[in-house]
Amino acid sequence: MGGGDNPQMYHRLFRLLSLAVLLAACSPALNWREVRPGGAELKALLPCKPDQGHRRQRLAGQDIDISMVGCEAGGALFAISVAELGDPDRALAVQVQWQAHLLGNMQAVVSTNSAYAIKGAGAQLAPMRLSARGLRPDGRPVVVQGVWFARGTRLYHAAIYADTIGNEQSEPFFGGLELP
C-alpha cells in the first residue's frame, strides 16, 4: 500500500469487522414462533419456520390420519404430530404402538417414561414424557425427548431429536405446548 495509508482507517475497519462478527455470533439459532399443527386446537412453539406433512399410518389395527409440522434448528429436529383417532378410547393403544415403533426404529438402548402435565389435556390418556438414546438411520447416536397427550379424538406427539438436548431447546418447546 502507498505512503498515504491511514492507520485510523484500518483501525475503524477492524472495529467494524469485529462488530459484524460479534453481531453474527449473537444471532439466535432458535427463533421461536407460535404454530397450530394440523388445524388443531393445540398451540405450540417451534424455533424455526416449519415444514408440514400428512400421512396415513396403521396403528393399533386402524388406519390413522396424522398431520405433522417440524423444522431443524440449532442442531436439532423439532416435530409435532396430530393423529385423528375417531374414537377417544383408542388413544392408549395407539400411543403404546406409536412409542414402540419410535423406540424400535431408533434401536433405543435406554429409555425412560415419566408423567407430564399439560393444561387442557384429556383424561382418557395420562400425558407422558419419554427420553431415549438410540441410533439414527445412518448409525450415528441420537437422543429423543418426546411427549404424548390427548384431547377428544386427537392424539398429540411432540419430540426433539438431536445429538444432545439442552434446556434452551426443551424448555421453550415443551413449555410452549398448550391446549386452550
**Tens digits of per-residue pLDDT, 3-44?**
555 444 333 333 333 333 333 333 357 899 999 987 779 999
Q: What is the structure's pLDDT at 135?
A: 96
- Element containing residue 9 per DSSP (H, E): helix 7-26
Q: So where are the chain's domains?
A: 29-175
**Tens digits of per-residue pLDDT, 123-135?**
888 999 999 999 9
**Out of 3-17, 90-104, 113-127, 128-142, least confident range:** 3-17
The fold adopted by the segment(s) 29-175 is Protein Transport Mog1p; Chain A (3.40.1000)
Which grid cell sits at 126?
395420562
**Tens digits of per-residue pLDDT, 141-166?**
999 999 999 999 999 999 999 999 99
Which grid cell sits at 40?
388443531
**Tens digits of per-residue pLDDT, 60-89?**
999 999 999 999 999 999 999 999 999 999
Q: What is the structure's pLDDT at 136?
A: 94
Write out the DSSP string of 14-56. Answer: HHHHHHHHHHHHHS-S---EEE-GGG-S-BEEESSPPEEEEEE
Q: What is the structure's pLDDT at 123?
A: 81
Distance CA 121, CA 142 (A): 28
Residue 122's pLDDT band, with cuts at 50, 70 and 90, is confident
Contact yes or no for 83/142 (Cβ under 8 A): no
